[in-house]
Amino acid sequence: MALPVAPPDCTAVVFISQFSGNDGPGYAEAAQAMELAAAKQPGYRGFVSARGADGVGIAVSYWADDAAALAWRKHSDHARTIARGRAVWYDAYAVSVATVTRSYDWQRGGA
Amino acid sequence: MALPVAPPDCTAVVFISQFSGNDGPGYAEAAQAMELAAAKQPGYRGFVSARGADGVGIAVSYWADDAAALAWRKHSDHARTIARGRAVWYDAYAVSVATVTRSYDWQRGGA
> Do B101 and A98 make contact, defined as CB atoms within 8 angstroms?
yes
Q: Is B75 on the interface with A (CB under 8 A)?
A: no
Q: Which of chain A's residues have a Cβ under 8 Å away from the Cβ of B58?
A: 48-50, 58, 60
d(CA B82, CA B34): 10
**pTM, 2 dp:** 0.95
Say what angle helices A76-84 and A24-38 make with each other, to 10 degrees.
160
Please give the average per-residue pLDDT across B45-69, as a whole number. 96
Interatomic CA distance for residues A36 and B14, integer angstroms: 22
Candidates A60, A90, A101; nearest CB to B58: A60
Instruction: Specify the pLDDT at position A15.
Output: 97
pLDDT, tens digit (0-9, with 9 covering 90-100), for B14-44: 999 999 999 989 999 999 999 999 999 999 9
